[in-house]
Amino acid sequence: MHYKVCLLGATGMVGQKFVQILENHPWFKLTSLAASEKRIGKRYGSEVEWIVSSDIPKYAKDIEMVPLDPKQIDADIVFSALPPEIAREVEPKFAEMGFAVSSNASAFRMHEDVPLVIPEVNSEHLALIEVQKRKRGWDGFIITNPNCTSTMFVITLKPLMDFGLRSVRIASMQALSGAGYPGVPSLAITDNVIPFIRNEEEKCESEPLKMLGKLVGDRVEFANFKISASCHRVPVLDGHLEAVWVEFEREVSVEDVKKAFRSLKPLDLPTSPREVIVIREEPDRPQPRLDRDTGNGMSVVVGRIRRDAWGIKYMVLGHNTVRGAAGASILNGELLVKEKFV
């Protein structure tokens, strides 16, 4: 059985990645592309400046784009790659009309009744769906995946929770594709590092505490440890590389950490990687160019795991537009199907 899929915001960089990943998906069939008013009635292939690979997938070229109007959409699940300011207006209209919305946008991530989900980390937070529907009077619902930078290090923090986390510090080296298209001007980033990404550090310091928190009744009690983030744009096309320092409540060895990383098992879903966390033992890995496509871009890769004065430090890398964006929303959609929310 194929579930009919509508994609909101198909022409941007993340939208293009959705189109690419959904090609030949075993569960989902992309049947609707909803776009801005100026593109309504036009074919996708004629309107998109394709930038994520060599060519637009043939199956999508002739799909006629439709309005961002739930009354004109026939779909079982809606994926959203909308900018947050548009998502804030459009996504509730779809949820109210009974659609399951799996969103990559930041607009609703921190709302108390909206699940912010990484399936391998906190799938139990899907219970908030019924809370959301009841409180808002919607027939459908919205779930979200986190910020691309948060995703990578939160996946690694999940198996370390049993050791007792006291504090986490991260420094990110973020790829250009995370800024969308056309993104950062070439004269600003060539031969340069930009040590500021608007709102990024705030997201990295708040979203993980929700995801790693406990569901108690109708709300999530946020995790009780501190996060400090410093985020930077670097001249890399794809792949966010992050340095992470973790302080624990007790003594933890490098081998303890490696064993914990290996314990995080993949889910039985089409987009799940064989290994969620891949450990590289080489002293100069992970590297974006060499490791970002590990697990079809859905694995995170860690390396340089070592002790320091506070606890353990390591590097983590993930593909920001796959595991950190489109692939994350699609994996959430698969989880909704498996858990019978769709």
Which pLDDT value is given to residue 226?
A: 97
Which pLDDT value is given to residue 54?
A: 78
Say yes or no to pLDDT of 1 above 80. Answer: no
Residue 52 vs residue 263, higher pLDDT: 263
What gap in Å lies between CA 236 and CA 213, rounded to an integer? 32
Nearest to 30 by CA among 72, 84, 70, 73: 73
What gap in Å lies between CA 342 and CA 171, rounded to an integer? 38
Mean pLDDT, rounded, for 189-197? 98
Which pLDDT value is given to residue 26?
A: 98
Whole-model pTM: value is: 0.97
CB within 8 Å of 215: residues ≥ 6 apart: 124, 125, 127, 128, 221
Mean pLDDT, rounded, for 191-219? 97
What gap in Å lies between CA 48 and CA 59, rounded to an integer? 14
Which pLDDT value is given to residue 49?
A: 87
Question: Mean pLDDT for the chain?
Answer: 97
Active-site residue identified among 6, 125, 231, 240: 240
- Domains, the chain, in order of start with CATH, read 3-146+325-338 (3.40.50.720), 148-319 (3.30.360.10)
Question: Is residue 6 flagged as an active site residue?
Answer: no
Dump pLDDT digits (tens) for 2-40. Answer: 999 999 999 999 999 999 999 999 999 999 999 888 999
Question: Is residue 240 flagged as an active site residue?
Answer: yes
3-class state of residue 256 by DSSP: helix
Q: Under a CB-based contact definition with an 8 Å cutoff, are residues 11 and 35 in contact?
A: yes
Cα R_g (the chain), whole angstroms: 19
Say yes or no to pLDDT of 51 above 90. Answer: no
Which pLDDT value is given to residue 259?
A: 98
Dump pLDDT digits (tens) for 228-285. Answer: 999 999 999 999 999 999 999 999 999 999 999 999 999 999 999 999 999 999 999 9
Dump pLDDT digits (tens) for 111-155. Answer: 999 999 999 999 999 999 999 999 999 999 999 999 999 999 999
Say yes or no to pLDDT of 183 above 80. Answer: yes
Dump pLDDT digits (tens) for 147-180. Answer: 999 999 999 999 999 999 999 999 999 999 999 9
Dump pLDDT digits (tens) for 98-110. Answer: 999 999 999 999 9
Which pLDDT value is given to residue 36?
A: 87
Burial of 250 (C-beta count, 10 Å sphere; 0-12/13-18/19+)? exposed
Active-site residue identified among 6, 148, 204, 231: 148
Which pLDDT value is given to residue 52?
A: 86
Dump pLDDT digits (tens) for 306-320. Answer: 999 989 999 999 999
